[in-house]
Amino acid sequence: MGASALFLLIVPATAQSQSEASISDQLTRHLATMKKDQQVLNFLNNHKWLLRDPRFQDSAKRQLRVHTSSLARVRRQAAAAKRAIALKAKERRLAAVEAAKPESVICRVFGPYCDEALAVSRCESGLDTTAQNGQYLGLFQMGTTARRLFGHGPSAVEQAKAAHRYFVASGHGWAPWSCKPY
């Protein structure tokens, strides 16, 4: 079992998040291993007499077993790496879309309260993630204490999630905000 396969078995799934470059490096190694395995298998296929000759039979059969199982295992690992790279690319695309449209982020976070949340955010900040009024910041103009309790960040996603936590803690009401949706 290779070191990367051993790592995947020992480390919990939550700790396995890796950078896309690291996953890409793994994929490159997997593809190189697959190429070597395939070369050995092609050689043995073109030299079948090695499997029958008593002088080489044991070694040739062992190499056939080793490289056949290695090829199957590394193909699975390469497929997993390709899926991980595709997932990271999809996450990047979604993050770019989310960053461009605070309205869609707010609606996704607030769900059935989308229209109300949009009205509050339009009134509080004009849907501007960089809006500031004294201590009040972001889409929902949350103050210092609210940001400390419920979070905050530079993106629309972080700000909407923080405001939603505040909204839920307030009993699904808009009392903490100056602007009301009604």
Q: How many percent of the chain have pLDDT more than 70?
A: 88
Q: What is the pLDDT of residues 98-110, one digit of tens each?
A: 566 899 899 999 9
CA–CA dist 158, 166 (Å, integer): 12
CATH topology of domain 102-169: Lysozyme (1.10.530)
Q: Which helix (H) or strand (E) holds 98?
A: helix 57-100
Question: pTM above the 0.75 mark?
Answer: no
Segments of the chain with pLDDT less than 70:
1-18, 97-100
Helix, coil or strand: residue 137: strand
CA–CA dist 132, 128 (Å, integer): 9
Q: Please give the C-alpha separations between residue 168 and each of 110, 140, 150, 163, 176, in angstroms, as whole numbers.
A: 10, 14, 10, 9, 11
For the chain, the structural domain boundaries read: 12-99, 102-169
